[in-house]
Amino acid sequence: MWSYNYTDELYHYGIKGMKWGVRRYEDKSGHLTPAGKKRYDDYEYSGGKSKKPKLPTVNIVKKQSSSKYSDKSESTKHDIPEKKSKHRQNLEKHYQEKYGMNKSQAEQQAAKRIKAEKIVAGASAIALTSAAVYGAYKYKKYTTDTILDMDTEFQTILGVNKGEKVQLRDQQYATYLNKDKKTFERYFGSNIESRFRWNMDDSKETVSAVSKNIKGQTKVASQKTSRDEFVKLYNSNSDFRAGINSQIRKEAESRGIAQQFRGAKRRKAFDKAAESIKEGKMDEKILRKYGYDAFNIGLVDTNNESKVSTAKIFYDKMKEKGYQAIEDVNDQKYSTNIRGKMPIILFDKDSFSTDTKTYTKEQLDKIISNYSKVSSRKETIDAGKKFVKDTADLFADPLGLGGATMIGGSVVANKAAIHKQVKLYKNAHPNTKMTDKEIYNQILKEYNKKKK
């Protein structure tokens, strides 16, 4: 007779390393794990029929919809093995052949590579979009005229005889943006007043001429419009063309305006324009870019009769088109002392009325003080840049920079060594206004230049 004896022991059968709820060959959704793929890939197929049972198809049953139009639950089939792209297959083959990986390792490496490619592609798309947006903004600014309301105030800083009422000239350099007003007031106000005080000239004073359009809105021509009209006049008006050619050649030879205002960019504009003049005419592309820039820079020279004559021809043409102002290209991108976002040149004086604002001594003292701080800081930074450039050759192995590495095509030096140079610079320049970060960045920049 057979009898069954109850015990307090529980017997469980499995394999070494198995854990509760963890599948070896499939995940919870029914997809094969790397071990499962390897297991089933080892099956041999012949004649379209497998010696082993067909790979399983897993049904995932979704919760039944509460909609009254749905009577049955939906199911989605995941067929194994999953279909691979040609790119993924090529990557797997590459990893197996070149690096000797097995199939599972190659699949994992290919998956990581594709994921990284998607991230890079996304970042590139964002960068391209940002560049496109900025490019669109720049193009719109270049091609679009600026229309200013009737109550817009245009500011010009001048030195005049005491009590003199300022009259708008045939052309008036002015600013209307608040930031530009402060910048130009600080620079010109300080320089004009300092000159008067240095010469102890009590008969003159620094004033702000504030102009308003009394006839309506002020239309400022875009750079594209200004250049287009300049090119048309140059090609159609022989007197205008001869005057421009003569002015540019003289400036390039004598370094008049270009030398007076200094700056390599200005000299380049005049030189490029002069070099392209052949058989009495300038190259169209150079004319539009450097020819107009040289003309715009030269407008400030109101003592030159030839320049005054060509300026009048140009201004009259712009008035016919309904404009009262053009952009001041020089103070936008060529000036070495001061630059503004949108300085302009007013030329339709009959449309404007001007009031004179006189500064108090306290206001002028503050303007001079603020300019001195900015100027002193700029000179200190320039001196620091020169020091860094002159000592860049000292950044050698003894300072620990020999172990620099390449990251993204740039040389990255040992931080401790650069901090040492920062300390040396501060010891040599105890009154420097440059921050440690500014000194550090400048040293690193110069070092990278030397090593590239």
Predicted confidence (pLDDT) per residue in 319-346, tens digit: 999 999 999 998 988 887 788 899 999 9
Q: In sequence order, what are the residues at sequence separation of 6 or more whose Cβ sits closer than 8 angstroms to the Cβ of residue 65?
A: 73, 74
Listed residue (75, 78, 82) closest to 40, CA to CA: 82
The 3-state DSSP class for residue 341 equals coil
At 61, the pLDDT band (50, 70, 90 cuts) reads: very low
Instruction: Specify the higher pLDDT residue, 19 or 57.
Output: 19
Q: Write out pLDDT tens, residues 104-115.
A: 888 888 888 888
Highest mean pLDDT among 20-29, 193-202, 299-308, 377-386: 299-308
Give residue 345's pLDDT: 93
pLDDT band at 116 (very low <50, low <70, confident <90, very high): confident
**Alpha-carbon gap, residue 104 to 38, rounded angstroms:** 7
pLDDT of residue 413: 45
pLDDT band at 58 (very low <50, low <70, confident <90, very high): very low
pLDDT of 415: 58
Whole-number percent of the chain with pLDDT over 70: 73
Positive/negative CA dihedral, 287, 291, 292, 295: negative
CA distance 38 to 387: 64
Closest among 85, 93, 144 to 117, alpha carbons compared: 85
Residue 393 pLDDT exceeds 70: no
Which residues touch 293 (CB under 8 Å, ≥6 apart)? 269, 273, 329, 334
Most confident of 50-59, 133-142, 158-167, 309-318: 309-318
Which of 176-180, 226-230, 296-300, 372-376 bottoms out in mean pLDDT, i.e. has the lowest? 372-376
Structure-block tokens of residue 246: 């003569």
